[in-house]
Amino acid sequence: MSEKIDLIEPVLSDDDEFMNAKQRAYFRAKLIAWKNDILREAKETLGHLAEESANHPDLADRASSETDRAIELRARDRQRKLISKIDAALTRIDEGTYGYCEETGEPISLKRLDARPIATLSIEAQERHERREKVYRDE
């Protein structure tokens, strides 16, 4: 598909057939752009961490630097996991299962997918999942 996808003007209309070619192309472009942003930020972080590896003579400066480094590495780890979810969503687009709830098989609302393109559950299924999680956590 050589047509340029405009991520600012989504092609999300409830009147259209669900997950038609334009919608799949829109979500693919949105996911790829998101992944590229994360990868770019990761490269910048690596560069920053390499520059910041200076040995600080003051203990407080060193402790502050180590804390900042640990926080940054935790954030990068979360983003690494996010990339695998983005890749899984791209695979679902290729397989034709993207946009359908993994639990019920029903379509996930386009608004939800636009806000959270890696969503695998409808809002109702996600709420049930969170309630079950809360019950097990409270026990």
- The model's pLDDT over 44-57, given as tens digits with 9 standing for 90+, comes to 877 776 666 566 67
End-to-end CA distance of the chain: 52
Whole-angstrom CA distances from 108 to 50, 103, 114 are 42, 11, 10
Q: Is the pLDDT of residue 139 over 90?
A: no
- The model's pLDDT over 8-45, given as tens digits with 9 standing for 90+, comes to 555 667 678 899 999 999 999 999 999 999 999 888 87
Q: Is the pLDDT of residue 121 over 70?
A: yes
| Cα–Cα nearest to 89, from 100, 79, 76 | 100
Q: Hey, how many other C-beta atoms are within 10 angstroms of the C-beta on 77? A: 10
Contact yes or no for 121/101 (Cβ under 8 A): yes
The residue type found at 72 is E
Q: Hey, how many other C-beta atoms are within 10 angstroms of the C-beta on 106? A: 12
- The model's pLDDT over 69-120, given as tens digits with 9 standing for 90+, comes to 788 888 888 999 999 999 999 999 999 999 999 999 999 999 999 999 999 9
Contact yes or no for 7/32 (Cβ under 8 A): no
